[in-house]
Structure 1
Amino acid sequence: MVTEASLPQYIYKIVPSTAPVVQPLPDRLPVSELDQTSGFVHLSTASQLANTLKFFFQEEPLVYILRIEYSRVAQYIRWESPDGKVCGPRPGEGLFPHLYNGLKLGHDEVESVAVWQNDNGWDQALVGAKDWLLF
């Protein structure tokens, strides 16, 4: 269960290399097919990023990580299972933040962007981002 005391300072969106994130950020970034089909933007907390990368982005050469200040979007977040159902979490990962704001993710929501390289797995990128990846 997510409580007020356990709310993160930041949440994150992983964008694959096939959808490059341009700077300056537009008002609204393109929406992934998964997000479009789901009707919400799939996000992760800092502690969930490693497994999300390993399970869903293992073949990506690089990804864009969008850091979103939680307070900017808190009113539109629902904490749910990865598929959008309010039920039990995946073992050890807890519930995921899902953004229900009409699929809008752009300069108003995103605080900063990082580019991570897949160097035979995501471990090096995660270690290199330890000062940027905030909980």
Structure 2
Amino acid sequence: MTTLNTQPLYIYKIVPSSAGVREPLPERLPVSELDQNSGFVHLSMAHQVPNTLKMFFKNEPLVYILRIQYATVMSDIRWESPDGKVCGPRPDEGLFPHLYNGLKLGRDEVESIAIWQNDGGWEKALEGAKPWLVY
């Protein structure tokens, strides 16, 4: 299922600053164009977050990182390769969790939220996130 051969405790959704995640979270957050076109919610495991940030959020001033307890969505997760049309192969990262639940992601699925600032790259945010970004 995963490259680690164990179930993750958490999986993560990265949301750009333009989406404006607010608390309290609504029942259903707006869906990104990518997720809408794919028919599922693109997620990452903790060890996949750094490259996802670097590939898709390089120029974002800040992002919202939504932490989802895997056990709460496990029945709706499919482990799949990233779509080559979107980002090309990422062989060292294994399969990615994709949420197939009718594109619903909101207060029932999200356990907590972090806001990370892009400080000339994501390294500083990632370093500070180690206690929260569970590998």
TM score, norm. by length of structure 2: 0.93
SS at 2:114 equivalent: strand
Distance 1:83 1:74 in 2: 21
**1:103 paired to 2:103:** yes
Identity %: 73
- The equivalent of 1:69 in structure 2 is 69
CA gap 1:3/1:47 in 2 versus in 1, 3 angstroms: closer
Q: What do residues 91-112 of structure 1 show as CA deviations (whole Å, max 9, x unaligned)? A: 2100000000000000000000
- For structure 2, the residue ranges without an aligned partner over 5 or more in a row are none
**1:126 paired to 2:105:** no
Runs of at least 4 residues off by over 6 Å: none
Distance 2:59 2:3 in 1: 35
- CA shift at 1:2, angstroms? 2.8
- The equivalent of 1:22 in structure 2 is 22
TM score, norm. by length of structure 1: 0.93
- CA shift at 1:82, angstroms? 1.2
- The equivalent of 1:52 in structure 2 is 52
- For structure 1, the residue ranges without an aligned partner over 5 or more in a row are none
RMSD between aligned residues: 1.8
Q: What do residues 77-133 of structure 1 show as CA deviations (whole Å, max 9, x unaligned)? A: 00001129xxxx622100000000000000000000000000000000000111111
Distance 2:92 2:3 in 1: 17
- CA shift at 1:71, angstroms? 0.1
SS at 1:58 equivalent: coil
Distance 2:83 2:29 in 1: 22
Distance 1:41 1:2 in 2: 17
Distance 1:55 1:77 in 2: 23
Which one has a larger percent helix, Structure 1 or Structure 2?
Answer: 2
SS at 2:19 equivalent: coil
Distance 2:127 2:77 in 1: 28
**1:78 paired to 2:78:** yes
- CA shift at 1:4, angstroms? 9.4
